[in-house]
Structure 1
Amino acid sequence: MSKDLLFEIGLEEVPARFMRAAIEQLQDRVVKWLDASRVAYGEVNAYATPRRLAVLIKDVAEKQEDVEEEVKGPSRKIALDDSGNWSKAALGFARSQGVEPDQFTFKELSGVEYIYATKSSKGVETSSVIGQGLLAILHAMTFPKFMRWASYDFKFVRPIRWIVALLGSDVIELEVAGVKSGNVTRGHRFLGEEAVISDPASYVEVLRSEHVIADIKEREHMIVSQIQALAAEKKWDIAIKEDLLEEVLFLVETPTVLFGTFESSFLNIPQEVLITSMREHQRYFPVLDNDGQLLPYFVTVRNGGSDSLDVIAKGNEKVLRARLSDAKFFYEEDQKLEIKDALSKLESIVFQEELGTVGDKVRRIRKIADGLASKLQVPADVAEAVSRSADICKFDLVTLMVGEFPELQGVMGEDYARKAGEKEEVAKAVFEHYQPRFAGDQSPASLVGAIVSAADKMDTIVGCFSINIIPTGSQDPYALRRQAAGIVQILLDHNLPLTLSEVFGVALQVHAQMNLLKRADEEVRKDLQDFFGLRVKKLLSETVRYDVVDAVISSGFDDISAVVPKGEALMAAVQTGDAFKTTVESFNRVGNLAAKASNASVHSELFTEEGERQLHEAWSKTNEEYRQVLSQHAAAEALAIASAWKEAITIFFDSVMVMAEDEAVRANRLALLAAIDRDLKAFADFSKLVW
């Protein structure tokens, strides 16, 4: 027999950003408790609204499963004394397992006999243990922030107002913070009332009758479908941003979409400002035309029905008008601030205690950007734009608009720089130097933006590494992993002819000149190499197999632009199967013996066998071309050239005794293999491939 289980925690409104993790945690803890308690169950469903977290599990067994467990004890040699009696070790084992020694059995394991005790445990009624289990789950829940209320020591994400705990139609008795469990839930705060849950299966429909849509996916579908219907009716493009949708989803229990308007005069403000203000302050969805231009409308989601929507819209319009008026004031005031005055204010903003102010950082960015531009040998006009962009890249940090909306840094900088008369490529680079801002974001489109972005990110990384702020575990307060990944992405997307060592070198030199290096250059360089190696590995692992990643990385990753093509080419070859497997086996035979070679060069006059002459000829004919195409990042072509050596390698090993008695002949054969192996290792360490 089985019954459905319902566990609902009724709360004061929980912050939307906590909800997804909270309901997933509750579901996970309940399921794990059932598993650990040997209670069988069926389908698991989780429900959440701003005022409740609930788990409904079908077909929960009424009784725990019986279990019979065999536990291994000491070996026979230890368990029995010289007289054949049970030793103290055996008797102690019996007591610890709650069995009598005469219940022991002997079994052989890896040639040694051990005693085993068989423990039987009868399952008890689920109803007798589940109350304590649910109570333990409540006490174990964790949240980003907790609250205590009244005089209770108990803490939770928000005060608990009711608890529904049912196994079938029976109430599971438990109490926490003065709240006793029952079968009464609460509907919508304003539209619904208390309602009795007669059995768990009726939970969703009972709440629906009280104006609560408990199912998360159903509520999301209602929001999206209503927005899409409105967009189709009005011929609008309503931008549904995923994180905003997620937040709105957990702000409402009965979603109803409506729209409002705002004065078109506000459209003179950059639309990024208006959209940010609507999204961040009011949780509104912006409305765009078919060309992606903002229209003077907004869409919001009401927590309630469709009554008096015009009144609700007017109230939202009034609030938004005040928000946009603030934004307009900030925008107009910011334009009165000259860039040179903004830059002087950066001198009073601390970037990092040991690394100085933001003004200090800007000066380092300028020097690093100039150094990178010099290594890239960019034209004079590009170098000039790089210098100016680096000089002013952070000026908008002191503006009122960025102070109100930090996520608009760069966006406002570009707009204000353009209005201040800066060149278009400079204004654009002020925005682009923050890119990529997150995983999946695009790189700077312009070369100027790419150079300044790499300089900014490299300055932060080198500065932190030099004072021993290195990410460990989940700790990464300066987002160094993201910034390193950004540099890798920029080098790849722009195919910049810069090695990581060169980028490190420029930044380290600037920090050394400013007396900021608190550790030896070599130490910092090694840590940087290891750190970026992990970022390159992560990048490769998104498209190729782990062993292919290891093989390619082992040949070096300093030239990032060469690594990705090699990974892709090797992955494609590996997927051909046995044909390439035999090629790799021949490469590995070369590598195994090459390890025994000295650094001697190859002398063709010492060849005594036709097989070694053929191998030398096959390799020497194409190894220069191989090196050339490899340097041009034509990895697939290079691998094809190397694979063509396989036949000569096979003939060599079939017909030539490498370890000849003549020392000179032996050394020459090993030198030939070592030369070929060096070429192969320039592509990858093929021994790391797993078949």
Structure 2
Amino acid sequence: MSKDFLLEIGLEEMPAKYITASAKQLQERIEKWLAENDLAYETTEVYATPRRLSVIVKVLAEKQADRVEESKGPAKKIAKDENGNWSKAAQGFARGQGVDPDTLEFREIGGVEYIYLTKEVTGANTVDLLSDMRQIILTMTFPVSMHWASYDLRYIRPIKWLIAMFGDQVIPFEITNVTTGNTTRGHRFLGKEVAIASPAAYEEALLGQFVVADAEKRKAAIVSQIEEIEAVENWKIPMDADLLEEVNNLVEYPTVLHGTFDEAYLELPEEVLITTMKEHQRYFPVVDEAGKLRPYFITVRNGNHEHLETVAKGNEKVLRARLSDADFFYQEDLKITINEAVAKLKNIVFHEKLGTLTEKMVRVKKVALIIADHLNMTDAQKQKVSRAADIYKFDLVTNLVGEFPELQGIMGEKYALLQGEDSEVATAIREHYMPTSADGDLPQSDIGALLAIADKLETLTGFFCVGIVPTGSADPFSLRRSALGIMRIIQEKQWNIRILDILEDVVAIERADGLDELPSKEVFQEVQQFLNNRLRAILAEHQVRHDIIDAVIGGDLSVVPALIERATLLNKHRDADWFRPTMEALARVVNISKKYQTETKIDPALFENDSEAQLFEAVEKLKQAYPSLNVVERLQAFAGLRLAIDAYFENTLVMSDDENVRNNRLALLFELASFIKEFARIEDINVK
């Protein structure tokens, strides 16, 4: 008979941003354990609040299924001696299987007889296996963890109670002096401890103690209450998914309420108001039909509807103090000129090995102008690049950004426009931080995109020059994100620049500025490989097969958009009927052409069959057309060569005894191979 199983880890309040992932991890670990132990079940349900991570396994079998195991032993000639007695090898095999040697039988495989043992294994009872949950709990990993009391265990937060129930039976084990039971805890202020009669009663029992255990139901309740306020007040409340997720993980029993603030604060830039409400207070801003901010906010209380007016007033008081500070900082910042702010950057150390922000900006300006040259920008554009690079970090010394770091770049753009800077320069100041996450928004302006690449590439190369390189999961300066951002921006802009040519210049700039702890060649190679790996990650996310990634990227980063286009094109056609024979034919050309050692001009007079002449003619046509062909047309051209290549190899002995004929044939293959290798290392593609 099947039963439900409940595991609950009760904890002190966890950081909201880690709760969802932690609950998912617990669910996945339990599902993996169930599969490894061959335990049948219907489904798993995951629950999470700030004070608990829980999983219910529905309709879990009471025991493992009985199974038949077959084990193959040594060959008969080894298993028995010349007198027909069991050898030590056979006796050892039987002993290892826990049986008498006389129960062994022989089975013929491939004309050879081997010992074979077939035995029935009775499945273990589930209740005897579930104590493994202790190890599942102990092996969970978290971005942050802590010790408590005198225990050696590090965990996201101290464990306060544990439930492990199979049906109504408690599975006994202990962690840090906390023993499993059937009692959970309700809301910290509104609820109390409650006994769980069975896993099926878990959710309802907690609801009776003011805990909505199901995170999705809790989130739906928040959204529903917000929509109700929207309808009653005729407001628009933009639903920020990240903020909703965080707020949802801050409460166990959500009640939505609203408050107000002084309209005078609407004179502040909207970004200041929104950042104050969202990032610092976890409030949802309110806007009108046109999307303009109104002097109201929405917040979510961890509790019921009692005394909501008092709660609203308390939130209003806190927000008022925040906005008052923001207004003061904003007014003070307006008194500072950009040049005055830039001058202060020489007193801010970017990194002890990389110098001040001023020194960094000087290097970035050089990199930015080099990229501008590669992009053939006009003199007017270069002037804007130069100005943006001169000032793009100035807002880091402003009061408002000092108080609200989330506004860096955003306030730089605002202040730059207020002081009469060119709009493209101002936009670049904001956009140079982009993307701020692996899949974050990218710069839209050319100047902003260029400055973002220059800043990230200089940062990346600078750290490598002084020997600070990410290792394993340790990447304290987010260099992987910087490299990924570079690749994504170049691809988005479709800029056909050779990143390696620029990288050589960047390494030289860093070394000229005294960042020379490692040799130039080593830095160049390591940064190239680092960027290469980020490009591989982009292609892997697009489900491009790994052998195709290897074939296209090879050892040369080359032009990023072209690499991505070739990889995705090859991946798209990998299952086409023509793909395998075409790749095999092209790979054969490349592999044999490697034997070409003597520079030889192809002489048609040395051709000995029509297949040679036909392939030569096809290669000549390819040579003429190739520069004007796009990527799709080039692949089509290669596919069109297959029959000529196959006929050539069928009728032609490349490695002729006649040296002149041999070199002539190798020269033809080498010329064709040069086009193939420019497209991809076709020989690396697995077509077996």
Superposition TM-score, scaled by structure 1 size: 0.89
Q: Residues of 1 paired with 2:146 and 2:243: CA distance?
A: 25
Instruction: Return 307-316 or 448-457, whichever deviates more.
Output: 307-316
Q: Residues of 1 paired with 2:307 and 2:422: CA distance?
A: 51
Letter in 1 for 2:26: L
Asked whether the 8 Å contact 2:544–2:568 carries over to 1, the reply is no
Change (3 A) 1:639 1:2: closer
How far did 1:40 drift? 3.8
Gaps of 5+ in 1: none
Instruction: Return 111-120 or 232-241, whichever deviates more.
Output: 111-120
| Residue in structure 2 matching 1:635, options 631, 636, 645 | 631
Letter in 2 for 1:247: E
Give deviations 1:510-557, integer Å, cap 9, x for gaps: 112223222222222222222222222333344463144333324954
Asked whether the 8 Å contact 1:629–1:635 carries over to 2, the reply is no
Instruction: Return 496-505 or 59-68, whichever deviates more.
Output: 59-68
Letter in 2 for 1:56: I
How far did 1:661 drift? 4.4
**Residue equivalent to 1:552:** 552
How far did 1:66 drift? 4.7
Give deviations 1:215-257, integer Å, cap 9, x for gaps: 1221122222333443455454423223222211111122222
Give deviations 1:555-596, integer Å, cap 9, x for gaps: 954122322333344445545x22454444443343343233
Q: Residues of 2 paired with 1:151 and 1:328: CA distance?
A: 47
* Mapped pair 1:681 → 2:674: no
Asked whether the 8 Å contact 1:555–1:685 carries over to 2, the reply is no
Letter in 2 for 1:204: E
How far did 1:83 drift? 6.7
Asked whether the 8 Å contact 1:552–1:685 carries over to 2, the reply is yes
Letter in 1 for 2:311: I
Change (3 A) 1:142 1:690: closer
Asked whether the 8 Å contact 2:395–2:408 carries over to 1, the reply is yes
* Mapped pair 1:669 → 2:665: yes
Q: Residues of 2 paired with 1:167 and 1:272: CA distance?
A: 52
Instruction: Return 211-220 or 610-619, whichever deviates more.
Output: 610-619
Change (3 A) 1:474 1:594: same
Letter in 1 for 2:62: E
Change (3 A) 1:284 1:578: same
Alignment RMSD, CA only?
Answer: 3.2
How far did 1:504 drift? 0.4
Residue aligned with 1:59, SS: strand
Asked whether the 8 Å contact 1:99–1:117 carries over to 2, the reply is no
Asked whether the 8 Å contact 2:496–2:560 carries over to 1, the reply is no
Asked whether the 8 Å contact 1:555–1:683 carries over to 2, the reply is no
- The 5 A counterparts of 1:307-326 are 307-326=306-325
Give deviations 1:22-58, integer Å, cap 9, x for gaps: 3233334444454555544332212122222222222
**Residue equivalent to 1:21:** 21
Asked whether the 8 Å contact 1:372–1:506 carries over to 2, the reply is no
Q: Residues of 2 paired with 1:556 and 1:207: CA distance?
A: 59
Asked whether the 8 Å contact 1:504–1:525 carries over to 2, the reply is yes
Asked whether the 8 Å contact 2:552–2:681 carries over to 1, the reply is yes
Give deviations 1:423-474, integer Å, cap 9, x for gaps: 2222221112112222233332222222222211111111122223333332
Instruction: Return 112-121 or 579-588, whichever deviates more.
Output: 112-121
Q: Residues of 2 paired with 1:213 and 1:296: CA distance?
A: 31
How far did 1:288 drift? 2.9
Asked whether the 8 Å contact 1:103–1:118 carries over to 2, the reply is no
% of aligned pairs identical?
Answer: 47
**Residue equivalent to 2:587:** 588
- The 5 A counterparts of 1:29-68 are 29-36=29-36, 39-66=39-66
**Residue equivalent to 1:455:** 454
Give deviations 1:622-659, integer Å, cap 9, x for gaps: 41221x225xxx21233334444445445544554544
Asked whether the 8 Å contact 2:528–2:557 carries over to 1, the reply is no
Change (3 A) 1:672 1:396: same
Change (3 A) 1:579 1:207: same
Q: Residues of 2 paired with 1:466 and 1:377: CA distance?
A: 28
How far did 1:360 drift? 1.7
Q: Residues of 2 paired with 1:279 and 1:202: CA distance?
A: 36
- The 5 A counterparts of 1:70-81 are 70=70
Asked whether the 8 Å contact 1:612–1:656 carries over to 2, the reply is yes
Letter in 2 for 1:616: F
Change (3 A) 1:677 1:313: same
Residue aligned with 2:53, SS: strand
Instruction: Return 424-433 or 115-124, whichever deviates more.
Output: 115-124
**Residue equivalent to 2:263:** 264
Give deviations 1:341-392, integer Å, cap 9, x for gaps: 3333333333223222222211211222223223434222222221221121
Change (3 A) 1:519 1:153: closer
Letter in 1 for 2:384: A
Gaps of 5+ in 2: none
Asked whether the 8 Å contact 1:430–1:449 carries over to 2, the reply is yes
Q: Residues of 1 paired with 2:427 and 2:390: CA distance?
A: 14
How far did 1:170 drift? 3.0
Superposition TM-score, scaled by structure 2 size: 0.90
Q: Residues of 1 paired with 2:319 and 2:59: CA distance?
A: 50
How far did 1:507 drift? 0.6
Q: Residues of 1 paired with 2:278 and 2:167: CA distance?
A: 43
How far did 1:109 drift? 6.7
How far did 1:319 drift? 1.4
**Residue equivalent to 1:409:** 408
- The 5 A counterparts of 1:73-472 are 97-105=97-105, 122-123=122-123, 125-128=125-128, 130=130, 132-147=131-146, 156-472=155-471
How far did 1:499 drift? 0.7
Q: Residues of 2 paired with 1:72 and 1:260: CA distance?
A: 74
Q: Residues of 2 paired with 1:473 and 1:385: CA distance?
A: 39
Asked whether the 8 Å contact 1:351–1:357 carries over to 2, the reply is yes
Asked whether the 8 Å contact 2:465–2:511 carries over to 1, the reply is no
Change (3 A) 1:111 1:150: same
Residue aligned with 1:351, SS: strand
Q: Residues of 1 paired with 2:441 and 2:124: CA distance?
A: 58
Q: Residues of 1 paired with 2:568 and 2:22: CA distance?
A: 40
Change (3 A) 1:553 1:8: closer
Q: Residues of 2 paired with 1:22 and 1:60: CA distance?
A: 23
Change (3 A) 1:117 1:622: closer
How far did 1:129 drift? 5.1
- The 5 A counterparts of 1:439-588 are 439-543=438-542, 545-546=544-545, 547-554=547-554, 556-574=556-574, 577-588=576-587
Residue aligned with 2:47, SS: strand
Q: Residues of 2 paired with 1:154 and 1:539: CA distance?
A: 37
Instruction: Return 24-33 or 495-504, whichever deviates more.
Output: 24-33
Q: How many residues are matched?
A: 685
Q: Residues of 2 paired with 1:636 and 1:153: CA distance?
A: 60
Instruction: Return 267-276 or 114-123, whichever deviates more.
Output: 114-123
Q: Residues of 2 paired with 1:555 and 1:36: CA distance?
A: 40
Asked whether the 8 Å contact 2:591–2:683 carries over to 1, the reply is no
Letter in 1 for 2:403: E
Residue aligned with 2:56, SS: strand
**Residue equivalent to 1:6:** 6
